[in-house]
Amino acid sequence: ASQKFSLTWYIDSPRVATISHTAIHYGKTPKPQAKLPSDYPEKSAILGGQIPATFSAQLAIPSAGAYYYRAHAIVDSQNIWSNEGLIRIFEATTSAQ
């Protein structure tokens, strides 16, 4: 928990376009039918730029547990979502001395 890690995703496009929103959205409840960014309670920094392109965000989730996440982008006013993934966050352990 609280340790930084990176997630990387690729947004493909048949043409070069500029977008102002792509991010990783996540939470403790799966959202198999995500439609809006607000469907997940947390998100990474919002990135923008030209697509097609690869994006990367760092997360540091403070609490242990299972978290569901998706890459999200708004392209031509449409919400585009990746498949949902699962990551398990564990409490830090200390070694006995």
Please report the pLDDT score of residue 9 as a whole number: 98
User: Residue 92 has what pLDDT?
Assistant: 76
What is the value of pTM for the model shown?
0.88
pLDDT reported for residue 60: 93
- Spans of the chain, pLDDT less than 70: 94-97
Q: Which of 97, 71, 95 is nearest to 84 (CA)?
A: 71
pLDDT of residue 94: 64
Beta strands in 2-63 (DSSP E): 5-11, 17-27, 42-43, 47-51, 53-59
Which pLDDT score is estimated for 27?
A: 96
